[in-house]
Amino acid sequence: MYPNFKKTLIQWSNDHKRLLPWQNTKNPYHIWLREVILQQTRIEQGSSYYHTFLMKYPDIQHLASSSLEDIYKSWEGLGYYSRAKNLHQTAQFIVEHYQGIFPRQYDLILQLKGIGEYTAAAIASFAFDLPYPTLDGNTYRVLARFFGVEIPIDTTEGKKYFKQLAVDCLDFQYPAQYNQALIDLGATICKPMNPLCEQCPLSSNCEAFNKEKISLLPVKSKKINIQERFFHFFIIHWNHQVYIQQRKQKDIWQFLFQFPMIEANETKVINHEDLATYFNGRFQIIEESEIFIQILTHRKIKAKFWEVRASYLQASSDWILIPFHQIKDYSYPKIIREYLSKRYNYIY
Ligand code: SF4
């Protein structure tokens, strides 16, 4: 093991602090919130949500006593709403079982809903200075390149190997500073594409740099398969009101709201008879939108929106009739918000 790895990193971090206002905290609630928001979100976007959340829910008690609907509304635009639900449930659990005080032991932190090994290590090290390595995409990349590890990072063997390597490299005296330095180096210098090796403090001993293997590391065994789906959404107008429904099934966008819809293929032509068959009523199609697209991690969602007027209708039991002016009060997937912005000039 290269003996100066951690020393070099810590020295580098003393001179290269990333200017993220939310990094200078030891408050476990703040760190938890920050890490959960950043799980699938870019820093620039996550920052404003983090500050909004702290304003609305300044501590665990406030978060626990808020309604899930209110939290979803605050989360709108971040995606992956299960994160918001887990935040809420975990806040309630901490209030109920730990008197609202974040547990200090790694094992107890890891048992909390929605907190995996990375987030538990981040809270344990950044808030409580406990020696646990934060192993995320950035740190996998730096370790794989520096040590020239060719074991695929997405295999059981690779995960086990890197977990041990991360522990072997960890600075047990300054775990918070070391973890932050490794994450920062991966994010700003050892980037996935075109890393800035000439500015890297580790370059003279880096295997990938010295053996010209940078573009080959880290190794991944699998390619992500992207599934394409096509949704037709119907904005059914009924006496200045409109129908929405909540997505309850375990699928994308669980618990978000949408307009009544069918899933079909892109070329499906919708006519009045189709609507009568799908939705049991008499309808007039007023307008058909262009195709909207939203990319998720494993899916590409395409959607078309149909403005429809009903003259007779038997609504499904899970439809909710709301006054048209209240549309904005509900949380929708990004693709629906984009349509509402474009069609009705709503600002999100
Ligand atoms: S020298 Fe280049 S490849 Fe090696 S750790 Fe530094 S930035 Fe990454």
For ligand 1, the distance from its centroid to the CA atom of residue 124, given in whole angstroms, is 27
Residues 230 and 292: their CA atoms lie apart, in Å, by 10
Please name the CATH architecture into which domain 227-344 falls.
Alpha-Beta Complex (3.90)
Q: Cα angle at 297 between 51 and 60, to 5 degrees? A: 30
Name the residue of 188, 200, 207 to mutate for ligand 1: max ligand atoms within 8 A of Cβ.
Answer: 200
- Evaluated on CA atoms 7, 8, 11, 16, the torsion sign reads negative
Mean pLDDT of 37-65: 91
Which contiguous run of DSSP H or E holds residue 83? helix 82-98
Specify the ligand 1 atom closest to the Cα of 197.
2
Q: Is the CB of 187 under 6 A from ligand 1?
A: no
CATH topology match: 5-135+148-181 vs 227-344: no
Amino acid at 132: Y
- The predicted pLDDT at position 277 comes to 83
pTM of the model: 0.76
Q: Is the CB of 127 under 6 A from ligand 1?
A: no
- Give the CATH H-level superfamily of domain 5-135+148-181: Hypothetical protein; domain 2 (1.10.340.30)
Least confident of 159-163, 214-218, 296-300: 296-300
Q: What six digits make up the tokens of 251?
A: 């699928």
Task: Tell me the average pLDDT of the chain.
Answer: 92
CB 208 less than 6 A from any atom of ligand 1: yes
291 φ, ψ (degrees, to nearest 5)? -90, 130
Coil, strand, or helix at residue 132?
A: coil
Q: Whose CA is nearest to atom 2 of ligand 1?
A: 197
Q: Per-domain residue ranges for the chain?
A: 5-135+148-181, 227-344
| Cβ–Cβ under 8 Å, residues 161 and 153 | no
Report in angstroms the alpha-carbon separations of 71 from 37, 53, 78, 105: 13, 9, 12, 27
Distance, CA 204 to ligand 1 centroid (Å)?
Answer: 9
Amino acid at 76: E
Nearest-CA residue for ligand 1 atom 1 is: 203
Q: Please identify which residue in the block is written with the tokens 């809420």.
A: 88
Q: State in Å: Cα 304 to ligand 1 middle.
A: 45
Which pLDDT score is estimated for 3? Answer: 67
Cβ contacts of residue 319 below 8 Å, gap of 6+? 243, 244, 245, 260
Sorting pLDDT into bands at 50, 70 and 90, what band is 122? very high
- Burial (CB < 10 A; 0-12, 13-18, 19+), residue 315, is middle
